[in-house]
Structure 1
Amino acid sequence: MDSWIMVLLITLLAFVIGTVIAAAVFLMMAGSLPRVRKGVVAFFHPFADGGGGGERVLWCAVKAVQDACPKAQVAIYVREGVTAEHLVRDARSRFNIHIEKPIQVIPLRRTHLVLPERYPRFTLLRQALGSVALGLEALRQLVPEVYIDTTGWAFPYPFAWRAGSRIIAYVHYPTISSDMLGRVWSGTATYNNDADIAESPIKTSIKLLYYHAVAWWYGLCGCVTSVTCVNSSWTRDHIQRIWFLGRAPVLVYPPVDTSELLQLPLDRKLKQLYLVSVNQFRPEKNHRLQLEAFALAKRAAGPTLQGQAVREAKLKFIGGCRHADDEARLTALQQYAEELGLADCVEWIVNAPFSELKAQLGGAVGGLHTMTDEHFGISVVEYMAAGAVPVAHRSAGPKQDIVRPVLEDDGSEQVTGFLAITVQEYADAITRVLTMDQRDRLKIAAAAQKHAKSFSTERFLQDFTAAIAPVLPH
């Protein structure tokens, strides 16, 4: 016990000393930055050419700024080697977003400093420090009148604020949340809390102290924003608890491109019953749970016609592999499917174009989502827009914002999908979706499609513009 207390005291002392040093460095570095460039709005988005949901938010935000403030010069801090022409072309081809006015690119050489794979230990702290170094690299080249962060790296905010910028944050996912702290406190082993730490009271105590210190730093950085936008109710609740804000964050749902999916017919000819799972092959997406639930549903299927429908149904995984780790994870999932006896009824569609995704969604009866605390859940919205009944995790964005009942014209409530947590709950929901009467399915699909329209690009542009207009250059 004495050694345990000693470790905690040493850790606390190191934190206090580190705080004093950091404050001194902050004052020194902030004072050496150039003057504010009036009329410039700069977006901090180091991987603006990534092509994901975060980049769609970026380009819609750029369009909102240019429409609301035509005379403003828009700049983007982005990794070295990416040109403005490439970014504008990418926005048009990937997202159908047309950036009419010119943008300026501020190249960043050290974007590797925020990559998690670079830091096998103390990932959170070292990424945070890396983001500070990257933010300073950006600000040494240009201090804008308005600094907009669309990546979630709050740690450079105080430097931009001290240099004279007004800060706008669009937060997709809190860097650290009370849920993360709760899982460490309870000793739960997850993808961001190793089993050897979860099983050790000493290591758990040290990690809690470490997380609380980072959370305190994160909260201080967030308090300098002029406008804080969040992408979901769950993110809003956590930011409100962790950031030292004097006002509530503004909820601005991300712009989901559902226009083509909404044109898919609901009353489709289901030649082959199948479910889809649209997610990158990343650990937090928890594809193993989907396989286990699908296998359990098949084992529990009875001898009736409905049971036969479950036994003959397929599950199609549609996802992207970013690098070798994702590819290794995909191989492990394929082997696990074989172990569960699912090899003949599971299909893997990797790095598919949108046309293939649309075709698969157009024939699916339902869609699976199993990530705990998904901040929003774009794939769930895509299921609903396409008329596939969602079965999503009962947490965060899907629970609070997306898979919610809608009011019908007669005043009654109509469900838009199902929520689950355990393997058994998922298996029951899968069975229900696969054996549902066509008329009941159409009612759910129609209500889900109606609700999916709440997350449109037009809604984002309207709400984001209203939130940021007061702090844009005049």
Structure 2
Amino acid sequence: MALISNAILAVLLLTATAVLLPKLTGAVLGLVFRGVGWLIWRRTRSRREYVIARARSEEQESRAPRPKVSTNSLSRNGADDEDWEKVDSLGPGGVQTATSSESSGSAGGNKNRNSDDWDGIIGFFHPFCNAGGGGERVLWEAVRATQKRWPKAICAIYTGDHEVNKATMLEKVENRFNIKLHSPTVVLLYLTTRKYVVSSSYPYMTLLGQSLGSLIVAYDAFTLLVPDVFIDTMGYAFTLALCKWLFPTVPVGAYVHYPTISTDMLASLDDQSGVQGINSGAGKGWKGKIKRRYWQLFARLYGWVGQQIDVVMCNSSWTAAHIRSLWGSGNKDTGSGEGTASSPAVVFPPTAVSELESTIAVDAESEKTRQPVLLYIAQFRPEKNHPLVLRSFARFLQERANNPACAGQPEPRLVLIGSVRHASPDETHIYNLRLLAHELRIRDQTTFLCDAPWPAVLTHLGTASVGVNAMWNEHFGICVVEYQAAGLICVTHDSGGPREDIVIDLGDGATGFRAETEEQFAASFEAALALPEAEKIAMRQRARRSARRFTEEEFSRKWLYQVEKLVSMR
């Protein structure tokens, strides 16, 4: 009897240990992380005070009386300065809810929770903020919206771009994106560990390597300054989890451009067509089995990390669907179903739709100035699949040369515009693209423009006829919206955001073409250029109407609605 009692007691002890030990371990680790976070906060208090004092000093200098100028010499800058006296508090429906003299509605509908006078620090984690791509447009438009909503708040950007000071950075932002920011409340905090998130640092297990590397970079960021609200705008979800572990009272938000891993990536391992990204068909053999298992385990880890995030925004329906499937269980409720991991808020990226509409005409008269030019605006990186465009264009020209009906018509040209991260693999990539154009015998018909300023981009958008995008599962496709707003006929990859949200029929007809293979792209190029003039104009106008769903104003409204939740948590 005693033996049975001892056995039962032993089983109970083992069961209790199995249940309580993980919780105890978690509690101890939680205390350790909080202790480290407290030490970081204490050591960075003086820098925080310095950042705030310097921002206030620059603010006073910017508002100091200036020499009077004549009415005729007033510039756009003066108008922008006046804008900073105004506060935009816009809800999801686009209604102004408050000014400095009125109470402001919070995300949950309670009055007076979010004051227009909030003067905290919002940290934006974006180590490559000088890259000049669509993700950077989102960052800087988010900063502009935040500045106008909370004029006294400081927007601190954690960046690894040491070669660019603040004045140069803001000038480049204005030239590239036509976004003018209020300099005093923008602070650049320079990271020294950005190399740990560069993909070339991890020839094997790249996803895990970059994710763990981002923890090092995030720790570097927090030792520079602990913000009141922390937002990742580049896709490093692990940094947000680290923030919650170190600083439980700091609300964290994610703007997800692209899930680090997705079910589409796993499916691409079995793809035999070769069109589903750079890992298409890589699931064969023992290496393929290892890769598959590694991705499955990483997906589980990624899903757990995502559940630590307070507010989740996604740039497209496609991205939101993947994030929902990966992060959608066990996430905390922020008081609203939308904006959680189980129900991410779709906040379409800002596009200069209004400017393009006011600058570029789409009518019978403007059609006479359009040239048979195919335009591809995309960063010069492997995932943008420029080789597919070059090969498709070469095939298109060859088929056109063999078509007697095309004799005597102007020869089509291809223009590739994109940013290049210097001292990076991008430079080698574009060199290889130039070689490919030479090998395909289309060098004379192809133009490469690197780091083109916005005015130059505008010129090409106004004179080209067709806009191209060839990335498989493009998370959204800002350039595609720019094409539509400028009146170009789109030929995009039949996947991701372009298929789900942009190049769609809204009930009044097609707004472009979608393709997957080299043959399909070549055929779509021909079909787009061969449309009768009346149908060309009609399609351009339909596309422009479709693009109005993606304005900068619409982004600002939805962005502020979600960020107000984070501010109210603080």
Match of 2:321 in 1: 237
Match of 2:465 in 1: 365
Deviation of 1:430 after TM superposition, in Å, equals 0.9
SS in 1 for 2:367: coil
Between stretches 292-301 and 308-317, larger displacement belongs to: 308-317
Matched, 1:423 2:511: no
Match of 1:437 in 2: 532
Residues 154, 186 of structure 2: 8 Å contact kept: yes
Query: Can you give the 5+ residue segments of structure 2 that lack an aligned partner in the other structure?
Result: 1-23, 46-118, 332-341
Between stretches 334-343 and 284-293, larger displacement belongs to: 334-343
Match of 1:328 in 2: 428
Match of 1:11 in 2: none
Residues 387, 446 of structure 1: 8 Å contact kept: yes
Match of 2:267 in 1: 182
Deviation of 1:333 after TM superposition, in Å, equals 2.9
Matched, 1:203 2:309: no
Q: CA RMSD in A?
A: 3.0
SS in 1 for 2:214: helix
Residues 231, 252 of structure 1: 8 Å contact kept: yes
Name the amino acid aligned to 1:120.
P
Distance 1:80 1:47 in 2: 7
Deviation of 1:52 after TM superposition, in Å, equals 2.8
Residues 391, 426 of structure 1: 8 Å contact kept: yes
Deviation of 1:108 after TM superposition, in Å, equals 2.0
Matched, 1:151 2:234: yes
Name the amino acid aligned to 2:373.
Y
Q: 1:348/1:55 Cα in 2 relative to 1: closer, same or farther (>3 Å)?
A: closer
Instruction: Give the 5 Å matches for 1:91-240.
Output: 91-95=173-177, 96-99=179-182, 102-162=185-245, 163-164=247-248, 165-186=250-271, 192-193=278-279, 198=282, 200-240=284-324
Name the amino acid aligned to 1:109.
T
Q: 1:462 aligns with which of 557, 560, 566?
A: 557
Q: 1:49 aligns with which of 116, 124, 130?
A: 130
Q: 1:300 aligns with which of 399, 422, 427?
A: 399
Between stretches 273-282 and 436-445, larger displacement belongs to: 273-282
Q: 1:392/1:27 Cα in 2 relative to 1: closer, same or farther (>3 Å)?
A: farther
Residues 309, 435 of structure 1: 8 Å contact kept: no
Deviation of 1:469 after TM superposition, in Å, equals 1.3
Distance 2:385 2:344 in 1: 30
Distance 1:39 1:260 in 2: 32
Name the amino acid aligned to 1:264.
I
Residues 254, 313 of structure 2: 8 Å contact kept: yes
Deviation of 1:22 after TM superposition, in Å, equals 11
Q: 1:85/1:125 Cα in 2 relative to 1: closer, same or farther (>3 Å)?
A: same
Distance 2:408 2:467 in 1: 16
TM-score by length of 1: 0.85
Match of 1:380 in 2: 480
* Number of equivalent positions: 448
Query: Can you give the 5+ residue segments of structure 1 that lack an aligned partner in the other structure?
Result: 1-19, 408-412
Q: 1:458/1:343 Cα in 2 relative to 1: closer, same or farther (>3 Å)?
A: same
Between stretches 207-216 and 257-266, larger displacement belongs to: 257-266
Q: 1:405/1:288 Cα in 2 relative to 1: closer, same or farther (>3 Å)?
A: same
Deviation of 1:311 after TM superposition, in Å, equals 7.8
Distance 1:357 1:100 in 2: 25
Distance 2:127 2:378 in 1: 23
Q: 1:40/1:300 Cα in 2 relative to 1: closer, same or farther (>3 Å)?
A: closer
Between stretches 332-341 and 34-43, larger displacement belongs to: 34-43
Deviation of 1:199 after TM superposition, in Å, equals 6.5
SS in 2 for 1:317: strand
Residues 66, 101 of structure 1: 8 Å contact kept: no
SS in 1 for 2:436: helix
Residues 68, 469 of structure 1: 8 Å contact kept: no
Q: 2:160 aligns with which of 70, 73, 79?
A: 79
Cα deviation 1:347-401 (Å, max 9, x = unaligned): 3333332222222221111111111001011111121122110100000011111
Cα deviation 1:421-469 (Å, max 9, x = unaligned): 1222212211111111111000000111122222111111011111221
